[in-house]
Amino acid sequence: MDYEGWTKEALIKRLRGLEQAKAATTLEPQATDTQQRKKRRATEFDFGRFPQRKVALKFSYFGWPYHGLARQGDALGSEDKRQIESQYPTVEGELFRALAHCKLIDSEATCGYSRCGRTDRGVSGFGQVAA
């Protein structure tokens, strides 16, 4: 459009009309990409929809902030054990938390977990294997 021949009043009227049209289309806030992702995460994950298999994970860690590799029992199974695990973190506890967060295991009881080796508090491990 050629706006050079328009009067000041006609230009102002055109601008107000465009602003009203824009306001009418943006009255309802649209969900952002982050909000949509959060909504998708709220649904329960169905492990039965995907094939499962046993894998071996070879990993290394610096043991200074941990109280060893192995932990005592199912630390995520009860609130008391979660508190103990938070006070005395172990590498195995962090490993289970990461695997559960990534939906690689359903629960500790059903995953058939086994490890080879263990370390004491503050000791690093290189080439540890868990299956």
Spot the catalytic one: 2, 74, 106, 120.
120
d(C-alpha 110, C-alpha 49), whole Å? 16
Q: Which residues contact 125 (CB under 8 A, 6 or more apart)?
A: 59, 60, 61, 63, 69, 91, 117, 119
Paired tokens of 119: 């370390």
Q: Is 106 a catalytic residue?
A: no
| Amino acid (one-letter) located at 23 | A
Distance CA 70, CA 93 (A): 8
Catalytic residues: 120
